[in-house]
């Protein structure tokens, strides 16, 4: 209730919200301006921030381009591809660990953590540092405006734990998540495909730095459904770079032993040089790989032609088309039934990739927008819609994977089927299997497979306090509720006796509230001051917006407030004014909370007015 009221009061300014593409390689923010989504970029820069963090031995961590540049000199303290770790456990990522020059472990409670200078940091905290940087740059670029609310995108296949981890990262960064949406849905929104009258079938081919995601969506009456997703979490531009690195390795084979070649500094320099060459080859028929490794006395140079590069990566492009084939067959569609093809991700700038995808689907793909920016732009469209901007459509999305409960024998009883439109809820009945059983253990799983062991466990919980009764008599109703972000809440109730218990499922590899609080509390010492200053600035702006809205609306609705509510509100407004510029986080928080409560009667009166106008005289509570 409080949210609706505050939105009314804030009279949300759509330009003050943003969409964030939190990417594996790069992250980017966009907002809505002058009737269209635009990328937020400092003057003369691309706006794209490498999702890389370097931790110097002393001093503050460095996020973005500088961190990426320093990776060569300090590979084991430079963290990249954090997205691959979000919401995952050690078992999920074990095969990937060889790709990372920094140590990753799992805590006793199942959280992944990276060891940096002896300090254990979770992927959520690392991602939050990237989000803070995106946010800071956005604020500075927007002339000091604070933008604490955002829509954040995730891959369509992200399960609940991964979405939750993303949400937690935003929370740690002090950003209020308006909605988490699927990247292919965002890309389709950026191209305005939601506004094509007849809807249709859309393929989003997203080849980024580290991952390939192929999604087939159907769009019908403003509802995007994910019909199928396929892809490879270990196939992307980095692999194309690696293909070029083989040229370097071969070129250096006579000069260096295998051991010398494993030098992390050399590897990183070679990788960056290969990437530069690959990017040049998208624009030129020929380019050079060139790099220096001073401590090894190496200055490597080699010309590469586009044809040579295309031959090197042809098998990798074939592999991406295999994923397209798989997604098509999973969705029961033929390539010719696809109406729109959208290209996303920096690697779709490669002419050979475009040509092969076009030939495969027999349809010219959308490439008008910058493929690095499409997802952020679409997220900004969604943020604009949610902030009450134009586009009188309700955007709905669907859950990507079925949600269920493990039953006796290890099979899965699905409670909510994949592709259900969110928000949604469903209830499933369970019972006891032993006489006098007073507790039931539940394992909540997500996935399409029949056996729980093959699905992803989101968490376990136990319903206790069931009165002793014969086996099969207890009636336990388990209700799953998936909110608009695709996040799950579960409640359980023993119905024959009315005994009930509400249970929160804590994702296995996620943070519980206490974790988040602790992390916020301890925060990374080096980031804390910045963080508090940022939070205080955000709160100051939020408080200012609330105050102005209260002042504006109070004049209109003063007569409708009872004297006590009016006095409370005026007192809270006076308190808010007195601390608005104080910069004190605690004072601002207290003032914001008081004003939020004290302004509720005003919001109710305003809503009543709006409803009365709309419903010609009926009171809201009569509707």
Is 83 designated active site?
yes
Question: Which C-beta is closer to ligand AMP: that of 23 or that of 64?
Answer: 23
Give whole-number Cα distances, 75 to 101, 112, 297, in Å.
Answer: 6, 19, 19
CB 72 within 8 A of CB 265: yes
Determine phi and psi for 245, rounding to 5 degrees: -60, -30
CB 428 within 8 A of CB 257: no
Question: Which C-beta is closer to ligand AMP: that of 123 or that of 208?
Answer: 208
Helix ranges (H only) for 64-195 are 65-70, 90-93, 123-141, 160-172, 183-190
Minimum separation from the CB atom of position 147 to ligand AMP (A): 22
Question: Which C-beta is closer to ligand AMP: that of 8 or that of 289?
Answer: 289
Given the residues 5, 21, 340, 485, the one annotated as active site? 21
CA distance 329 to 318: 17
Handedness of CA 116, 119, 120, 122 (dihedral sign): negative
Return the DSSP state at 595. H
| Burial of residue 444, with CB atoms counted within 10 A of its CB: 0-12 exposed, 13-18 middle, 19 or more buried | buried
Q: Is 197 helix (H, G, I), strand (E, B) or coil?
A: coil
Minimum separation from the CB atom of position 276 to ligand AMP (A): 9
Minimum separation from the CB atom of position 551 to ligand AMP (A): 44
Minimum separation from the CB atom of position 239 to ligand AMP (A): 9
Determine phi and psi for 339, rounding to 5 degrees: -90, -35
CA distance 289 to 352: 19
CA distance 606 to 595: 16
Apex 568 CA angle, 564 and 573, nearest 5: 145
Minimum separation from the CB atom of position 344 to ligand AMP (A): 7
Minimum separation from the CB atom of position 621 to ligand AMP (A): 50
Pick from 594, 477, 494, 589: nearest CA to 538: 589
- The strand order across the sheet containing 104-106 reads 104-106, 112-116, 119-121
Is 206 designated active site?
yes
CA distance 159 to 163: 6
CA 482 to chain centre: 16
Question: Which C-beta is closer to ligand AMP: that of 209 or that of 486?
Answer: 209
Minimum separation from the CB atom of position 314 to ligand AMP (A): 15
Given the residues 125, 159, 160, 206, the one annotated as active site? 206
User: Taking CB positions, which residue lies at the least distance from ligand AMP?
Assistant: 237
Is 66 designated active site?
no
Question: Which C-beta is closer to ligand AMP: that of 345 or that of 510?
Answer: 345
Given the residues 5, 183, 232, 275, the one annotated as active site? 183
Provide the binding-site residues for ligand AMP, judged by CB under 6 A.
23-26, 208-209, 236-238, 275, 278-279, 282, 345-347, 349-350, 372
Question: Which C-beta is closer to ligand AMP: that of 209 or that of 459?
Answer: 209
Question: Which C-beta is closer to ligand AMP: that of 25 or that of 553?
Answer: 25
CB 78 within 8 A of CB 102: yes
Given the residues 5, 83, 542, 596, the one annotated as active site? 83
Q: Which residues are catalytic?
A: 21, 83, 183, 206
């Amino acid at each position: 209730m409080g949210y609706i009221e505050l939105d009314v009061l804030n009279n949300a300014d759509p330009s003050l919200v943003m969409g964030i593409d939190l990417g594996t390689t790069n992250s980017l923010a966009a907002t809505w301006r002058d009737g269209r989504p635009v990328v937020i970029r400092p003057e003369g820069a691309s706006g794209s921030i490498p999702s890389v963090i370097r931790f110097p031995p002393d001093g503050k961590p460095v996020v973005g381009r500088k961190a990426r540049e320093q990776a060569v000199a300090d590979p084991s303290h430079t963290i990249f591809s954090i997205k691959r770790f979000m919401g995952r456990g050690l078992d999920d990522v074990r095969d990937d660990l060889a790709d990372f020059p920094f140590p990753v472990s799992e805590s006793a409670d199942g959280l992944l953590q990276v060891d940096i200078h002896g300090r254990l940091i979770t992927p959520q905290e690392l991602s939050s540092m990237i989000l803070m940087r995106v946010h800071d740059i956005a604020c500075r670029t927007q002339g000091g405006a604070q933008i604490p609310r955002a829509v954040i995108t995730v891959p369509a296949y992200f399960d609940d734990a991964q979405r939750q981890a993303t949400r937690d990262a935003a929370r740690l960064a002090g950003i209020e998540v308006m909605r988490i949406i699927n990247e292919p849905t965002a890309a389709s929104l950026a191209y305005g495909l939601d506004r094509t009258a007849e809807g249709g079938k859309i393929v989003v081919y997203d080849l980024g730095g580290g991952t390939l995601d192929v999604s087939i969506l159907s769009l019908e009456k403003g509802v995007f459904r994910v019909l199928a997703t396929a892809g490879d979490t270990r196939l992307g531009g980095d692999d194309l770079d690696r293909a070029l690195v083989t040229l370097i390795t071969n070129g250096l084979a006579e000069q260096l032993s295998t051991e010398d070649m494993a030098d992390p500094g050399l590897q990183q320099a070679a990788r960056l040089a290969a990437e530069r060459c690959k990017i040049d080859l998208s624009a030129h028929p020929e380019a050079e790989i060139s790099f220096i490794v001073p401590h090894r006395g190496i200055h490597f140079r080699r010309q590469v032609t586009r044809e040579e590069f295309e031959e090197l990566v042809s098998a990798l492009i074939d592999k991406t088309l295999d994923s397209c084939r798989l997604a098509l067959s999973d969705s029961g569609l033929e390539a010719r039934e696809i109406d729109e093809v959208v290209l996303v991700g920096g690697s779709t700038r490669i002419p050979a990739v475009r040509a092969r995808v076009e030939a495969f689907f027999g349809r010219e793909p959308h490439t008008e927008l910058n493929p690095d920016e499409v997802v952020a732009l679409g997220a900004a469209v969604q943020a604009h819609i949610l902030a009450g901007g134009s586009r009188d459509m309700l955007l709905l999305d669907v859950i990507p994977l079925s949600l269920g409960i493990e039953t006796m024998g290890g099979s899965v009883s699905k409670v909510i089927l994949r592709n259900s439109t969110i928000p949604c809820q469903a209830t499933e009945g369970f019972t006891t299997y032993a006489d006098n059983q007073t507790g039931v253990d539940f394992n909540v799983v997500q996935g399409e497979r029949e056996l729980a062991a093959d699905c992803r466990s989101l968490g376990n919980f136990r319903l206790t306090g069931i009165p002793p009764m014969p086996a099969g008599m207890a009636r336990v109703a388990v209700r799953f509720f998936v909110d608009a972000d695709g996040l799950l809440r579960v409640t359980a109730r023993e119905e024959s006796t009315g005994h009930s218990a509400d249970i929160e499922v804590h994702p296995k590899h996620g943070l519980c509230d206490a974790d988040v609080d602790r992390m916020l509390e301890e925060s990374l010492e080096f980031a804390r001051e910045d963080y508090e200053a940022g939070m205080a600035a955000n709160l100051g702006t939020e408080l200012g917006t609330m105050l102005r809205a209260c002042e504006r609306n109070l004049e209109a609705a003063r007569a409708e407030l009872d004297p006590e509510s009016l006095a409370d509100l005026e007192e809270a407004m006076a308190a808010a004014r007195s601390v608005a510029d104080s910069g004190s986080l605690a004072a601002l928080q207290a003032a914001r909370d008081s004003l939020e409560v004290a302004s509720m009667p005003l919001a109710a009166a305003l809503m009543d007015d709006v409803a009365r106008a709309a419903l010609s005289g009926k009171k809201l509570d009569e509707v």
